[in-house]
Amino acid sequence: MTATATVKLPRMALLVVGVIYILAGLFFRDPWKTDDVVGLATMMTALNDGGHAWLLPQIGVLAHAQDGPLITWVGALCIWAFAPFFELFATPLDAAIIASRLPNFLWFGLMTASVWYGTYLLGRRPEPQPMALPFGGEPTVQDYGRMIADAALLLIVATVGIVWRMHETSEVPALIAFQALAFYSVARMLDHPASGSITLGFALAAAFLTRGWIGAVPIMLAATFVFMPRSALWAQKKWLMLTAVISISLILLWWIPASQVGEYWIRNWVLWNSSSFGWPNFQEVLSTLRDLPWFLWPTWPFAILAIWRWRAWLASPHMLIPIMFALWPLLTMLFLVDAFEPEYSLMAVPAAVLAAFALPTLRRGVVNSLDWFAVMCFSLSTATVWLGWIALQTGWPRQIAHNIARQTRGYDVTISWPAVLAAVLGTLAWIALVRWRLHTKPAGLWRGTVLSAGGLIVTWLLLVTLWLPALDYVRSYRTVSGQLATALQTHRQPGECVRALGLGVGQRASFLVFNDIDFTYESSCGLVLQQTSPDSVADGTVAYADSAQVLWVGKRGADRNEIFRLLRVRTP
């Protein structure tokens, strides 16, 4: 490898990539159903109710005994500190929504910085260095490590599965960030064991306080098993005691007061975490193996290739550390009852790091072919987004417009010209990037990762500009929540409570966030909000089919499988 292959990527380019990535789709939209709105609901409950809701995440009166309290703390503090400023130009609700997403900057910055510095520390070690050329001209240790680190950062940004997750108000962005921090801490322990072990202790405790045992176990196992006999870290194993002391102490600072004030919450939290694990199920394993390659695209083929190409060096830190951080999340998923994207996300960071170490092993022709694949793939994706938007606006092409109309039934088509302008600028930026690749023929090995990261960012930018109104219509409960609030004002008697029947956590959180509608568990309540399906109503199998007065029926316009009914029932 020559020094020209590790030419320095402009720092401003990396900064621009990161800023556009995290800003696109973060603001100017509603919280969407399930994880996004659930996280916001716990933050708003902590602020409004105070008390034990700060220690034990709540959605109104519902004990959200699943994850940990860390994202609730950080998000609620941001709402408390910054929402008054945003209220100068937005409604109190929208100001709170904007403020709740400020922690995403922290999680994204922590993830990218940890990936870059951790990979740099591994890339400048002697094991992965290229062979010296007979007459010189090979890259320096620093240049080679920087090139690998730049590629890893661009590859984590280019990972398809986490792009939406990094923009939601949930535990997933924080969990990815703390796994990345744990990866960096282990890499740092090779040369600075004291500071690395301290940082690792904070990372493990934060992962536990973010997503309980489901999120913390794979990271803890990975951080432990990198200290294998005959590995470069084996001599530093004694520092794990300091890591354990810090991690356990921080966890106990929450656990002791939480268990004293919330025995019911803790009992349900333990039950939820323990029941999430089980023996491998064949169908669940097949589902994971089917979905994971799409989630980890485009890094997983290169990660596997890196393991093969560096198979004689698997015990070296640049292979052993990311392999452990990939292996244990994968093994843990096999023992989870219902593994999905929050669990898949723990594969993103190690896959990106491994993929970066595959780049120096590729022949020049292969690298050029991959560049062309990225150009064709993302040019097609941007064209597809534009074509779908044109079909939504004009009705042509007819078949595409028909398929879109089925998914957005009842949606009133609108055009936001600032959003269209942003989409046009993003498309022009992609064209300029492709032109740069064609005309300058850069020698840096990071060129393909620039194309992949740029292509994904442009595609995401088009989705959250051109399609944002339609996505809000399909995934937000703001409208139906407002309709329910109006119905309650009309039909609820003074002091009358409302209970829920079959109401999902995401729907409960949405009604709480948008209109401060909370539901009691008192069986004596005469008003019942029922969530069911149109088919159950039509065939009469729904509860209270004949014995209740229907006061209101509503649903999201695009949803064909979900309906809400406000009922007045006879009470004992």
Answer yes or no: are the C-beta atoms of 540 and 532 closer than 8 Å. no
| pLDDT for res 572 | 66
pLDDT of the residue at 430: 96
Please identify every stretch of the chain with a pLDDT value under 50, giving residue numbers as ranges.
none
Tens of pLDDT, residues 59-94: 999 999 999 999 999 999 999 999 999 999 999 999
- Write down the H helix ranges in 299-363: 299-309, 317-334, 341-344, 348-358
Contact 64, 57 (CB under 8 A): yes
Q: What residue segments make up the domains of the chain, in order of their start?
A: 12-361, 364-475, 478-568
Name residue 277's beta-bridge partners.
336
pLDDT digits (tens, 9 = 90+) for 360-384: 999 887 888 888 888 999 999 999 9
pLDDT number for residue 178: 98
Residue 134: the pLDDT is 72
pLDDT on residue 570: 84
Rg for the chain, CA atoms, rounded: 26
CB–CB of 115/159 below 8 Å?
no
Q: Which pTM does this prediction carry?
A: 0.96
User: What are the b/e assignments for 534-551, b being 16+ CB within 10 Å?
Assistant: eeebeeeebebeeebeeb
